[in-house]
A = this chain, B = another copy of it.
Amino acid sequence: MSKNCRFAVAVHIAAVLALSGDEPATSEWIAGSVNTNPVVIRRLLSALSKAGLVRSLRGSAGGSLLARPPERITLLDIARAVEEDEGPALHHQPPNPACPVGRGIQPVLVRVIDRAEAAREAVLGTTLLSEVVTQIRAEAMG
């Protein structure tokens, strides 16, 4: 696969927590399901926690829990929590203002890229974690 597994792994984490219910899941256990290192999981849990989606209990018998029921968490919540928020991807160097295109293009690009991104987020914003968990269960059975 390519890059930025963060979203995929964060959804995976959230699904595991949703299925764990009240039982705190340890980063090591989640890492076993994702098939990666526990620190990678803890880093993402930290981001999810800062976004208020997850609660973590420290100390022995600790672990993580969803902070609210999966019916009230959207994939957009998760994406916003773990993806770097760096405006639209424009030119590295500012374009040449002596050229009409160089002078006028950036605001136009920002508008259109923002509109496209809003459309993508609209889909994620209407997809609930609970729905994803239901589908995962169906896939795992089939």
A residues within 8 Å of B by Cβ? 1-5, 7-9, 11-12, 15-16, 19, 32-36, 75, 84, 86-96, 99-105, 107-109, 111-113, 115-117, 119-124, 127, 132, 135-141
Is B91 touching A139 in the complex (CB atoms < 8 A)? no
Grouping DSSP codes into helix (H, G, I), strand (E, B) and loop, the A interface class, with mixed when no group exceeds half, is helix
B8, B33, B99, B137: which contacts A96 (Cβ < 8 A)? Answer: B33
**20 pairs, CB–CB < 8 Å, chain A vs chain B:** A1-B92, A4-B89, A7-B113, A15-B105, A16-B99, A19-B100, A34-B95, A34-B96, A34-B102, A35-B91, A35-B102, A36-B92, A100-B136, A103-B140, A104-B138, A105-B139, A108-B135, A115-B123, A116-B120, A120-B120
